[in-house]
Amino acid sequence: MTDFDKPHMEPKGFFGYLPLSPSDLVDRKTPTDKVFSLAHFGVPIIEASDWQLEISGLVNQPRTLTLTDIKDLPRREINTVHQCAGSPLDPTSPKRRITNVTWAGVDLAYLLNELGIDPKAKYIWSYAPDFGEFGGYSQSYYLKDLSVNRILEGGVLLAYELNGEPLPHRHGFPVRLVIPGYYGTNSVKWICRMILAAERADSVFTTKLYTNPARSEEGKNTTGSPVWEIAPESVIVSPGDNSLVQQDSCLIWGWAWSASGAERVQISVDDGKTWDRADLETRSEWAWQKFTYNWQPSSKGAFTIIARASDPSGNIQPITGARNAVHSVQVNVE
């Protein structure tokens, strides 16, 4: 069932392209050549004419689609944060691999409704043919899953464009999944097979890696939850780390986001003893939101500026020990 033709991989082996630090995130929309790129096994080079997508499992009319078939379906454009969850081997350290981009493709809800979803289908398993070794596991494909409910909320794309252009190979050419509000790891690039199923996919990248640690609460053990929805987070774009600022006025600004948007951003300049609310724009689609704060430093000298975001349910960025732990910058007031 999972015997894909092995694609040519260039490069072969873990691929990471990380061009931007927080102080470089000056553009609201990240230009394509500045969008980070990650691939556990390397980048498969797939020609459009060789590509097809099989959709089967708990669906009334299984179907195999070519790129032309996909492009003939209604085109939907989505502006969203695109963020990597960080290394699954080091899940509690923030990596700040974050961008805000526009994808275009067909909404998967539209396509699946055309094919007819069997009511027993609760999850969809998405496969790509990239293969190799990661974290001590040897795999002959990349596999992730997501819930049918999330798909039916809309916005989940089979995308063939990034920022108005065909996807570059490293970003998933010819077609990839895009799940707005979910960490990048779930958005399977070079997608070639989707299977609708009643249960989750039990596999390395679904239930072993990218699983939040199980917690025990009041004697009850909870099983680890998948790394799906993006937790509240913010980055300080300006001032940059180790910069000099003037005492009369300093504009602190950056971006905040989460799966359900950022509700509030707070700033501390006294190591988290007190927090002051920043101005925060409202969200459009799944995009990040700009925050601004006019700071009048109380004295000259060294300060640490910390920003923390919270979401509409009141979840708040932790200070340490999590992938979405706060970002801080050191500045000198002169």
Ligand X SMILES: Nc1nc2c(c(=O)[nH]1)N[C@H]1C(S)=C(S)[C@@H](COP(=O)(O)O)O[C@H]1N2
Of 53, 273, 35, nearest to 157 (Cα)?
A: 53
CA distances from 313 to 195, 232, 275 (A): 33, 10, 19
Of these, 131, 173, 182, 190, which contacts ligand X (CB under 6 A)?
190
The span of 29-37, 103-111, 266-274, 298-306 binding ligand X (CB under 6 A) equals 29-37
Taking the complex as a whole, the smallest distance from the CB of residue 283 to ligand X amounts, in Å, to 21
193 near ligand X, judged by CB under 6 A: no
Tell me the H-state helices in the chain.
Answer: 67-72, 108-115, 148-153
The one-letter amino acid code at 163 reads N
Instruction: Verify binding: residue 187, ligand X, rule CB under 6 A.
Output: yes
> Which helix (DSSP H) or strand (DSSP E) does residue 264 occupy?
strand 264-268
The span from the CA of 217 to the CA of 229, in Å, is 21
Name the residue nearer to Mo ion (CB basis): 227 or 306.
Answer: 227
The token pair at 41 is 């096994």
Using CB under 6 A as the binding rule, whether residue 324 contacts ligand X is answered as: no
Query: Which residues, including other chains, have CB under 8 Å from residue 273's CB and lie 6 or more apart?
Result: none
Bridge pairing between strands 123-128 and 132-134: unpaired
Give the interface with Mo ion as residue ranges (CB under 5 A).
38, 84, 184-185
The whole-angstrom separation of Cα 77 and Cα 106 is: 9
Least distance between Mo ion and beta carbon 218 (Å): 33
Q: Does 203 bind ligand X (CB under 6 A)?
A: no
Give the number of residues in contact with ligand X, rule: CB under 6 A. Answer: 20
Q: In whole angstroms, how close is the CB of 42 to ligand X at the nearest point?
A: 8
CB of 36 or CB of 160, closer to Mo ion: 36
What does 142 bind: Mo ion, ligand X, none (CB cut-off 5 to 8 Å by kind)? ligand X
37 binds ligand X (CB under 6 A): yes
Among 9, 25, 40, 252, binds ligand X (CB under 6 A): 40
**The entry of ligand X, Mo ion, none that residue 194 binds, CB within 5 to 8 Å by partner kind:** none
Q: List the single partner that 39 binds among Mo ion, ligand X, none, CB under 5 to 8 Å by kind.
A: ligand X
Which residue lies nearer to ligand X by CB, 142 or 286? Answer: 142
| Residue closest to ligand X, measured at CB | 184
Nearer to Mo ion, 86 or 297 (CB): 86
Minimum distance between the CB of residue 323 and Mo ion, rounded to whole angstroms? 10
| 3-state secondary structure labels for all residues of 118-187 | CCCCCEEEEEECCCEEECCEEECCEEEEEEHHHHHHCCCEEEEEECCEECCHHHCCCCEEECCCECHHHC
| Residue selected from 76, 96, 150, 189 as contacting ligand X according to rule CB under 6 A | 189
Q: How far apart are CA 227 and CA 210, in angstroms?
A: 5
Angstrom distance (rounded) from CA 152 to CA 150: 5
C-alpha closest to that of 186 among 291, 84, 65: 84
From candidates 36, 51, 103, 160, binder to ligand X by CB under 6 A = 36
- Beta carbon nearer to ligand X, 172 or 232: 172
Give whichever of 2 and 330 is closer to ligand X, judged by the CB atom: 2
Strand-pairing partners, residue 255, are: 235, 290
Give the other-Cβ count within 10 Å of 273's Cβ: 7
Find the shortest distance in angstroms from Cβ 84 to ligand X: 3
Residues 42-101 that bind ligand X (CB under 6 A): 84
Sites for ligand X among residues 112-151 (CB under 6 A): 128, 130, 142
Task: Point out which residues bind ligand X (CB under 6 A).
Answer: 35-41, 84, 128, 130, 142, 170-172, 184-185, 187-190
